[in-house]
Structure 1
Amino acid sequence: MDLHHKLAVGSSGSSRDELDGVERLLLAELAEIAGPVERIALVDCGSVLLADELARLFPTAQLVAYDDSYVDASLYDAEVAEREWVDRYMRVAALDSVRFPTELFTGVSVLVLRLPKSLDYLDEFAAAAASGLEPDALVLGAERTKYMTPTQNEVLKRYFGSVTASLGRFKSRALRATEPLGSESLPGAATSAVSSFPRSKHLPELGLTVVAHGGVFAGTKLDIGSRLLVDNLEHLLEQAPHARDFVDAGCGSGVLSARIAQLRESAQVTGVDVSAAAVLSTRETAQANGFADRITAVQDDALRGLPTASADVIVCNPPFHAGTSLDTDVAQRMFREAGRVLRPGGQLWTVYNSPLPYRNAMTRSVGRTVVVGSNRKFTVTVSIKPS
């Protein structure tokens, strides 16, 4: 699916004809700002429509965008390229070891974000923002009221001296955070706005240390699906004795990548994930376990950037949610791309929620698919590409 097709069918960063309720509330709040605004940062804001309005409302301000998702960033940039205000636009991205780079906060008067579902994501972001923003900067986050919790206020209060909530409008609510506690130039500020992320945890049953940034699926834990796949890895490796080039599709924290590297000394593993946080986590998990020379991680959309016929085995614990909604499209695209990336005779090892209709999709995209393990909730399958 190319970018234009994805825009047509919709996504978190998809093209729309009008602002949604969250964006309308953010604009109503921002319209009350008095004084010059030189630089506005937008974090995970999705639709470019909000930036359109901000470019009009603040005609001299530079707009800086950051998205954790590779897909959302690509869609956003493609739309911005057609805007007349493109010369005032800058994209920043996570670096090799820094999730939220300083360029996202330097000189920013207003930072706008769509509040994340994950409190860990919010925690890591808030710590970085509080350390990098100017003392008089405003952080304005909003979301649909039904997805918000009082804990979001508590997280922000760890890093900002003042956190207040707006009245509910358009079925949405906003949080305003000011007085960043990590700003050295703020009189009387605490200097404790230090993130606890990435976090690490040793899993003694595997002999591995898992490292995870905020918002990565399952964090430093081994989720039920991944555990079932891990339990079957030794058997699966026996079925592919000559496999050397592995791909971990949707690598998350990198625990599957690390386990493969641990069990097979000749393995070279490429972790792929749409999320910058996941890619950083996989790299750091590899480093923590001494596998940095055998595990690489890249940010991509469903394996599209990998060469055709380049992998012996692809291992996959596919996502089945997009935000708060059930969404199996990413998994379906992973299966299609897996069929392309696998060499003849290559194997796709997948764990998935048993009720989902994935087996037929994997058979169509890759080849004959058989069940090799299951429990009450999840199923592990092997799909074999014809030689």
Structure 2
Amino acid sequence: MDPRSEVVLRQQDYLTGSVLFVNAPCDELQAHLPSQVDAQFWTWNYNESLYFQKQQAPIHFGIELPEADFEQAVIFVPKSKELLNYVLHNVLSRLKIGSSVFLVGEKKGGVERAAKQLLPYGSAIKLDSARHCQMWQLTSSIRTELKPLASWVQEYTVPTPNGDLSICALPGVFSQSKLDVGTAVLLPYLSKVTSGKIADFGCGAGVISAYLAKLNPKNRIFALDVDAFALASTQLTFEKNNLLPEQLEIKAVSGIEDAPLFLHAIVSNPPFHQGIHTDYNASENLCKTSRRHLKSGGELWIVANRFLNYPVLIEQNFGQCITKTDQQGFKVLFASTQKNLKEQR
């Protein structure tokens, strides 16, 4: 069992009634909760939602709170400070004054820093410190008035050869406040991507999706991500740039295996984090299995840190991998299902 869940169970006597567990780890916590707890779960990670579905737990996937009422909340600290602010604000908009909100996290995950974010909402005490984790209890002294989603959006501008793009990023989304270096290295090559049905795997705030749609109004973009906040951000980015809504299809995925078939291209600045931990599984699977989702002559475009072994994985599955550029610590990699591909730089 996750050590954070173990700490929650050590303090289970504080839990009672309908309790919302936010961003909970995928473990056996629910099965060990006391009988006085009526648990429900909220996650924005699609893989985690699938896990809780298999456990037949009451799970809500999305960026908004579940509709069902709750009397207490246990929040497992997310990686992003801004995302924790969003969660706290939303949870406290639904709880009565005097209600308890519990915060749980690993010390190396910044739980002590996160506990300071409780202070605007009431008095907070540390209940436990064990298993390299901490659990805090907030007794709320205010009930927040729910702010509209737009007030949580960070906007920034990305200049492109086809005009500026306005990017809308919600809390916790990769590259929330500015364009990341990897995507910046990839952008000049997006005009070379074949047109048609294109998947943006790990769409984030929608930079790649929006630019591909802007390049060709006939492109149909499949924005794929495990994170509900990323999917919502991409939708907002499309709307902000007045792109055709029929160009965009948003889909929560557990990995590239959930992508549509017969794509003309897959483009990705692939993800490699799962919470606070590094996890290359999704991006390595992209290199290994994306070919089966492409049409004959379909293309794979990836930008990745130059130290990663993606070229080898792509060559093993496509027969070749062309490095289009290598700069600022990133490589733009290209492969095609076309046989006897001649290298074009």
Q: Do both proteins adopt the same fold according to a TM-score greater than 0.5, normalized to the shorter chain? A: yes
Residue matched to 1:69: 45
Alpha carbons 1:220, 1:253 under 8 Å: kept: no
Structure 2 unaligned runs (5+)?
A: 340-345
Equivalence for 2:7: 25
Pair 360,303 (structure 1): closer, same or farther in 2 beyond 3 Å: same
- Contact 1:246–1:269, Cα closer than 8 Å, also in 2: yes
Give the deviation of 1:267 after TM superposition. 1.0
For 1:11-50, list aligned pairs within 5 A: 19-33=1-15, 37-50=16-29
What amino acid does structure 2 have at the position aligned with 1:218? S
One-letter identity of the residue aligned with 2:59: R
1:331 is aligned with what amino acid?
S
Match of 1:298 among 251, 259, 283: 251
Instruction: Report whether the alignment pairs 1:344 with 2:344.
Output: no
Query: Which residue does the alignment assign to 1:181?
Result: 142
Q: Does 1:90 align with 2:58?
A: yes
Matched, 1:270 2:222: yes
1:261 aligns with 2:225: no
Q: Which amino acid aligns with 2:174?
A: F
**2:173 corresponds to 1:216:** yes
Distance of aligned partners of 1:318 and 1:72 in 2 relative to their CA distance in 1, 3 Å threshold: same
Matched, 1:113 2:54: no
Q: Secondary structure at the match of 1:168?
A: strand
Measured on the aligned residues, the alpha-carbon RMSD in Å equals 2.1
Q: Whole-Å Cα distance in 1 between the matches of residues 323 and 249 of structure 2?
A: 29
Residues 1:384 and 2:339 are matched in the alignment: no
With over 3 angstroms needed to count, the CA separation of the structure-2 counterparts of 1:192 and 1:42, relative to structure 1, is closer
Alpha-carbon separation, structure 2, partners of 1:100 and 1:192:
11
**Residues 317, 352 of structure 1: 8 Å contact kept:** yes
Q: Distance in 2 between matches of 1:347 and 1:146?
A: 40
Q: How many residues align?
A: 335
How far apart are residue 75 of structure 1 and its match?
A: 1.7
What TM-score do you get using the length of structure 2 for normalisation? 0.90
Q: Which residue of structure 2 lines up, in the alignment, with residue 171 of structure 1?
A: 132
In the TM superposition, what whole-angstrom CA distance separates every residue of 1:299-322 from its partner, at most 9, and x where no partner exists?
A: 01223233322x101101111232
Q: 1:151 aligns with which of 110, 113, 116?
A: 113
Secondary structure of the corresponding residue to residue 111 of structure 1: strand
- State whether residues 287 and 313 of structure 2, in contact with CA within 8 Å, keep that contact through their aligned partners in structure 1: yes
Q: Secondary structure of 1:147's partner?
A: coil
Aligned with residue 274 of structure 2, among 322, 326, 329? 322
Whether the 8 Å CA contact 1:182–1:193 is kept in 2: the answer is: no
Counterparts of 1:325 and 1:93, CA distance in 2: 21
Question: Separation in 1 of the partners of 2:141 and 2:313?
Answer: 49
**In proportion to residue count, which structure has more strand?**
2
Q: Does 1:198 align with 2:198?
A: no
Partner Cα separation in structure 1 for residue 181 and residue 296 of structure 2 = 31
Q: Which runs of 5+ in 1 are unaligned?
A: 1-18, 82-88, 184-190
Q: CA deviation at 1:367?
A: 4.1
* Equivalent in the alignment of 1:85: none
